[in-house]
Amino acid sequence: MTQSACQYGVGGRSLRGCSGIAALLLVIASTAGCTSTGLVEVETSFPAPLVESLPLRAGVFFPEELRGFTHSETIPQHSQWHFELGGASIELFNPVFSALFDQVTLLEQLPAGEQAAYLDLIVAPQLERFEFDIPRNRDVKFVEVWMQYRLYVYTPDGTPIAEWPVTGYGKSPASGSMPRNSLHDATVRAMREAGATISIRFASQPDVRDWLQEKSNAKTIVNAGG
């Protein structure tokens, strides 16, 4: 496939004068030849947030859907992309939860069984949406990434406390026709924003705040009775 065919193929090259079969072959060849494949495997470490920890013993469960999360998408006549985000999500949440709670226990299953006996709450994050955009013309100079996690928070016996969607957005200057490094950088930025939101706003999330207040009142009553 020559460069001119990729530049002008289906979208711009005139098919006038071609026979029907020749035109069809040109369409197929142009579409196949102009699509490149990019793999973005997010590999990075995330610093622990500087927040005051809550006096809670938390169990953390990482579902298999989160551990193995991938996203594949084809941009017509441009490129195919495959993102591997499971491992990076674990790397994000480990320092976030370690800083957010006094004690953290990693759980292998839900319900947690005997492991949950001494816990105050259980947190199970999911990655439920990932979107990205790359330049498709010379006027656009950036790549962008949007993602949404959802935190499920339970009492040790499995009673729901909160279900909290947390979004992250990342933007990075585009570089080259296959901006793999730029997409990696934008994804990391989006993950950091989501992690910062969880760290700063977890205790003030309405359902969590109400549960913390009830827990505090119950402890006060028990202490007064003792």
- Quick one: 59 and 112 in the same domain? yes
Same-domain check for residues 59 and 30: no
Are 88 and 200 in the same domain? yes
Question: pLDDT over 70 for what percent of the chain?
Answer: 79
| pLDDT of 19 higher than 90 | no
User: Do 17 and 79 sit in the same domain of this protein?
Assistant: no
For 92-149, what is each residue's pLDDT tens digit? 999 999 999 999 999 998 887 887 889 999 999 999 999 999 887 776 789 999 999 9
Contacts of residue 146, Cβ cutoff 8 Å, sequence gap at least 6: 129, 130, 131, 132, 167, 168, 169, 190
| Domain of residue 20, residue span | 1-34
pLDDT tens-digit map of 147-206: 999 999 999 999 999 999 999 999 999 876 678 999 999 999 999 999 999 999 999 999
Task: State how far the Cα of 186 lies from the Cα of 172, in Å rounded to an integer.
Answer: 5
Average pLDDT score, the chain: 82
Query: Is the domain of 10 the same as that of 80?
Result: no
Same domain, 23 and 98: no
Q: Give the Cα separation of 177 and 225 in Å (integer).
A: 69
Residue written as token pair 């839900």: 110
With CA atoms as reference, report the closest residue to 39 among 79, 72, 81, 67: 81
Clarify whether residues 8 and 90 are in a common domain: no
Closest to 132 measured CA to CA, from 38, 195, 36: 38
Pair 158, 184 in one domain:
yes
Same-domain pairing of 173 and 98: yes
Q: Is the pLDDT of residue 212 over 70?
A: yes
83 and 158 share a domain?
yes
Structure tokens at 60: 């953390």
pLDDT, average across residues 58-84: 92
Q: Are 7 and 114 part of one and the same domain? A: no
> What is the residue type of 132?
F
Residue with tokens 């470490």: 45
What is the number of domains present in the chain? Answer: 2
What is the rounded CA–CA span in Å between residue 221 and residue 211?
15
Check which CATH number belongs to the domain holding 45 and give it.
3.30.160.150
How many CB atoms sit inside 10 A of residue 22's CB?
Answer: 11
Residue 115 gets the label, from left (phi > 0), alpha (psi -120 to 50) or beta, of alpha
Place of tokens 């490129």: 79
Q: pTM for the complete prediction?
A: 0.79
- pLDDT(28) > 60: no
Rounded Cα gap, residues 155 and 215, in angstroms = 11
Q: Are residues 85 and 56 part of one domain?
A: yes
Q: Which amino acid is at 49?
A: P
Question: Which pLDDT value is given to residue 106?
Answer: 95
pLDDT value, residue 111: 82
